[in-house]
């Protein structure tokens, strides 16, 4: 093989690698965008519930209904929503992680129960 031909082959190989790296990079960006969109979608309802609880605390204060028990219950409910949101973020991060090559157990009933608790909103 001549030096000129060898140079052209090496040049084409390098070009192919750069294109492959670019495609991989853009693919990962697209995955990250999907992940952020999915997290935002999963967070809408819990954020609305948190907003409702905060407004409810303010109203309870203005109407003289706010006591320690009322506040503790509201805080517990808020913390439940925050834990759900944190778990959602972890679930998506783990799903898109390169290290997550093993199968994890998934309980449909547990996850449906969590979702049901989250979607029922405040029960006062």
Within a domain: residue 124? no
Task: Report if residue 65 sits inside a domain.
Answer: yes
Residue 110 lies in a domain: yes
The residues, ordered by sequence, that sit 6+ positions from 42 with a Cβ below 8 Å of its Cβ are 85, 88
Is pTM beyond 0.75 here? no
Q: Copy the structure tokens of residue 32.
A: 């990250």
Decide: 82 and 58 in contact? Cβ < 8 Å: no
Residue 75's domain comprises 3-119
Question: E strands along the chain, which residues?
Answer: none
CA atoms within 13 A on the CB side of 25: 6
Q: Is residue 69 in some structural domain?
A: yes
When divided into structural domains, the chain yields a total of 1
121: left (phi over 0), alpha (psi -120 to 50) or beta: left
Give tens-digit pLDDT for 27-65. Answer: 888 888 887 888 888 889 999 999 999 999 999 999 999
pLDDT in tens, 90-106: 887 777 665 545 555 65
């Amino acid at each position: 093989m001549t030096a000129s031909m060898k140079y052209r082959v090496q040049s084409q190989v390098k070009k192919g690698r750069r294109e492959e790296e670019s495609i991989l990079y853009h693919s990962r960006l697209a995955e990250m965008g999907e992940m952020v969109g999915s997290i935002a979608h999963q967070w809408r309802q819990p954020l609305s519930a948190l907003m409702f609880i905060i407004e409810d605390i303010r109203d309870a204060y203005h109407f003289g209904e706010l006591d320690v028990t009322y506040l503790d219950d509201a805080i517990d409910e808020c913390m439940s929503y925050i834990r759900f949101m944190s778990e959602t973020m972890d679930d998506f991060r783990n799903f898109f992680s390169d290290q997550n090559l093993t199968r994890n157990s998934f309980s449909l009933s547990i996850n449906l129960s969590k979702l049901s608790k989250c979607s029922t909103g405040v029960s006062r």
